[in-house]
Structure 1
């Protein structure tokens, strides 16, 4: 548990919950695209989107537990996810593969920015565990960005 003041801890919990909401929203969007991708790139993108969705989902519990270990409460509902996430909804199941890749690329870049905020705020809160863990979360996000950007070439 961090030793910094209550304001720093509160900011960390809020930022972690935002990152948690982003991961949940990005998981749903990535799975949506996994289910609905079509066209000549179907197999490759279907598999890529599934791999990325599983990677994103694997961090949900880890982030939620960081919130709890810092004395906070995690988000509790789909409504809370909607309020806190920066990942835009996508209800169009007819997007072409190119648009799907472009949107996931932009969303992962947005998530990377959020994780940079977690990195900064965890440092201010003297939460060395979260600060160290977030490096791995950023690395995973950068790998997804790389794979998605390479699939646009």
Structure 2
């Protein structure tokens, strides 16, 4: 029994889509923090601060996504293993990554997250879940802004 009055099949699809988006958000958060911790070079301070700012924004959205899944009566991620099974973003375990490559990779990953959010929005709209659909608009705008900042920053790198 769901907490809210939605079609169970449509909400199941939406919850699964949101959980994939949530897993990708956690993967992006950790990669952004990884790059924050390991960036080096002449623009160290600027990139270090940019990555930390973006990671904080991503982390804030993870709680909102998970709470939305719970609000519609479903369960969400439970562990790092659950994240790993569901994420579609690739990890980066390289010992060293050039700063300009960090910018490009994070931009690509944020744009991938935008695609995931669009799929979640389609599922929310199909379920008639206006609340989730509206929240997704905000998360999409944030990911697009991060991608834009990374692109513009990388133009001078």
Give the TM interval when normalised to the shorter protein.
over 0.9
Selected match of 1:111 from 110, 113, 118: 113
Selected match of 2:134 from 129, 132, 135: 132
Point out where structure 2 has 5 or more consecutive residues left out of the alignment: none
Other structure's SS at 1:100 match: helix
Other structure's SS at 2:88 match: coil
TM-aligned CA deviation for residue 83 of structure 1: 1.2
Q: TM-score, normalised by structure 1?
A: 0.97
Selected match of 1:99 from 98, 101, 112: 101
CA RMSD, aligned part only? 1.0
Point out where structure 1 has 5 or more consecutive residues left out of the alignment: none
Q: Deviations over 1:51-97 (max 9, x none)?
A: 00000000111010000011110110111101111111111131110
Note if contact 2:10-2:126 (Cα within 8 Å) is conserved in structure 1.
yes
Note if contact 2:4-2:71 (Cα within 8 Å) is conserved in structure 1.
no
Task: Tell me which residue corresponds to 2:55.
Answer: 53
In the alignment of these two chains, the number of paired residues is 153
Q: TM-score, normalised by structure 2?
A: 0.94
Q: CA 1:124–1:2 in structure 2 vs 1: closer, same or farther (change >3 Å)?
A: farther
Q: Which runs of 4+ in 1 moved over 3 A?
A: 1-4
